[in-house]
Amino acid sequence: MTGSIITVKNVCKRFKKVEALVDVSLEAKPGEVLFIFGPSGGGKSTLLRCINQLEKVDEGEIIVDGIRVTDHGADLDTLRAEVGMVFQLFNLFPHLTVLQNISIAQERVRKWPKAQANETAHKLLERVGLPEKSEAYPHQLSGGQKQRVAIARALAMNPKIMLFDEPTSALDAEMIREVLDVMVDLAREGMTMMVVSHEMGFAKAAADRMVFLANGRVVEEGTVEQIYQNPKEARTKAFLDQILY
Amino acid sequence: MPDSNPTIEKASERKIPGLFPTAARLKTLPWWALVVLLLGISLVYAITSIPSYQDAFEFIAPGLRVTFIASVSAFGIALVIGLVVGLGRISSNVVAYNLATFYVEVVRGIPMIVIIIYVAFVLVPIVVGGMNGLGHLILSTPWLAFLHGMGENLYSMSVQDIDSMARAIAGLAFGFGAYEAEVFRAGIQSIEKGQMEAARSLGMSYFQAMRHVILPQAIRVILPPLGNDFIAMLKDSSLISVLAVRDLTQLGKLNRSRTFRTFETWNTVTYLYLSMTLLGSMAVKWLERKFKSGDR
Ligand SMILES: Nc1ncnc2c1ncn2[C@@H]1O[C@H](COP(=O)(O)OP(=O)(O)O)[C@@H](O)[C@H]1O
Ligand SMILES: [Mg+2]
């Protein structure tokens, strides 16, 4: 299919004996929001990490925005600058202020002048609802605030694609909403997103397609209504029943 | 545990308030430091007023400068070696990893004094020989004519040109580099993997991530052992006296054979080393506190 911004073709990834991904194929068009869910250990993180090449695939190919990232010698720094990633445990830089966390990559990677980087950072903080926290250090923030800063940090590079790996799994219930709100806004603005999560509310509000990944395989894939209302595979149904009671 | 002292003091004060120190409090006073201080004062007195001590001090004191310069330069080079080799030790590149590990394991298995002798009399001649060979190659290659000036310098280089101070510094740096490499490795590995991944996923190169994200955090872990190693370097630099470098120890040996005043000589040498290491320890503690209380 042409017009895809992410193409994952027959990807296999092994860790010693563990088959983390088995013949996984997926596509995402620009502006699409893919919601990826499945049991723990199913390969969801590995899939995202292969897309921005934090992990190397064993077989198959991945093409992101026209770059075959699985090629030997692909320009990974450039790739990663176009692909934002948000982690379950935030991974903010604890020795830097919130503002520095957001501006550092613009200065070091994009080589933008400090003033411009800080201006962007302030705008993004406004956007994620934390304009007053620019001088705080990460340890002074709540979990939800940390994750919103992490999203702002990824957005500062002006990425074409955003990958979210269980962005709300480490958060207390009352903080999940503030992070999902930011993500829904982002989806509405047309960002291409791959979101690994179990927040079905987010899927309903913002996802275009859902992918059920288990044992390293894409078990089922379809629109939110399809998967939600009548999953074809028994395993998908069983898993949905489980997480929705 | 030095931290427990203040609490003991407070507890005893609360029990028996009074002007005079209680028995419990007497136990916690740093008597050892008082003794050091008294010994120091008597030595200063001796040096300023007893001729034989005065003579020993005047002869030996210039060694302070040599010991200090050798230690600081060797430690500076050892830090560079340590950083590079430490990165090699955690590298996924097989060649870098094995070269780094070879160096660390071999050097740490050899006594420091042997390393110093080995570097001075084996490695330095080998390197000079290599330079000569390189110079010869340049001189005998017509299309490298533009490098002939350098080639001549390299070719005429001689082992005698490398003085014993330079060899001593090279030896100490080579020996300590292996230990500093392990300090850097441990410090870097103490930082969560997620930090590197977050930095890389923002498009930073490996070295940018190291420089701006990992090392600034690792420095808190790295600094205390580095400080200890610098103090160790001040002491172990005494080994370079085997190369006849005129450091504190060497001047001590010379003064002793010059005057036969064993007591005066070694009391003075000991006092000078202690002043350096105690001052060094204080400086290291101050630095550590500064880094701990700084931004986080
Ligand atoms: N770095 C790694 N080393 C070894 N095994 C790994 C590594 N990363 C993931 N795995 C294994 O690969 C499988 C998929 O993991 P992961 O992608 O993290 O699953 P998920 O994110 O869906 O929970 C699991 O069995 C996990 O133990
Ligand atoms: Mg995961």
The DSSP bridge pattern shows strands A192-196 and A33-37 to be parallel
Closest ligand 1 atom to A13 CA? 12
User: Per residue in B211-255, pLDDT tens?
Assistant: 999 999 999 899 999 999 999 999 999 999 999 999 999 999 999
Reduced to 3 states (helix: H, G, I; strand: E, B; else coil), residue B50 is coil
Q: Mean pLDDT throughout B203-216?
A: 96
pLDDT at res. B12: 47
CB contacts of A141 in chain B (<8 Å) are: none
User: Per residue in B166-187, pLDDT tens?
Assistant: 999 999 999 999 999 999 999 9
Ligand 2 mean position, distance from CA A215 (Å): 13
Model ipTM value:
0.93
B207 touches chain A (CB under 8 A): no
Contact B194 A54 (CB under 8 A): no
Q: CA–CA separation, A134 vs A121, rounded Å?
A: 8
Is the Cβ–Cβ distance between B181 and B86 less than 8 Å? yes
Instruction: Please tell me the number of the ligand nearest to residue B193's CA.
Output: 1
Sequence-distant contacts of A114-122: CB under 8 A, at least 24 apart: A117/A156, A120/A156, A121/A152, A121/A156
pLDDT at res. B271: 94
Confidence of residue B8 (pLDDT cuts 50, 70, 90): very low
Between A53 and B12, the more confident residue is A53
Residue B131 confidence (pLDDT) above 50:
yes
- Ligand 1 within 6 A of CB of A46: yes
pLDDT at res. A3: 86
Residue nearest to atom 5 of ligand 1 (CA): A15
What are the Cα distances from residue A39, in Å, to A212, A217, A232?
A: 9, 11, 17
Q: Where are the domains of chain B?
A: 63-187+199-295
User: Per residue in B136-174, pLDDT tens?
Assistant: 999 988 898 888 888 898 998 888 888 999 999 999 999
The DSSP bridge pattern shows strands A18-28 and A67-68 to be unpaired
pLDDT at res. B1: 38
User: Per residue in A20-69, pLDDT tens?
Assistant: 999 999 999 999 999 999 999 999 999 999 999 999 999 999 999 999 99
Closest ligand 1 atom to A213 CA? 22
Confidence of residue B5 (pLDDT cuts 50, 70, 90): very low
Q: CA–CA separation, A9 vs A62, rounded Å?
A: 6
CB contacts of B199 in chain A (<8 Å) are: 93
Helices and strands (DSSP H and E) totals, chain A: 9, 10
Residue B15 confidence (pLDDT) above 90:
no
Residue B263 confidence (pLDDT) above 90:
yes
Q: Mean pLDDT throughout A200-213?
A: 95
Please say whether the structural domain B63-187+199-295 has been given the CATH code 3.40.50.300.
no
B197 touches chain A (CB under 8 A): yes
Contact A95 B216 (CB under 8 A): yes
Residue nearest to atom 18 of ligand 1 (CA): A45
Is the Cβ–Cβ distance between B224 and B235 less than 8 Å? no
The DSSP bridge pattern shows strands A59-64 and A6-15 to be antiparallel
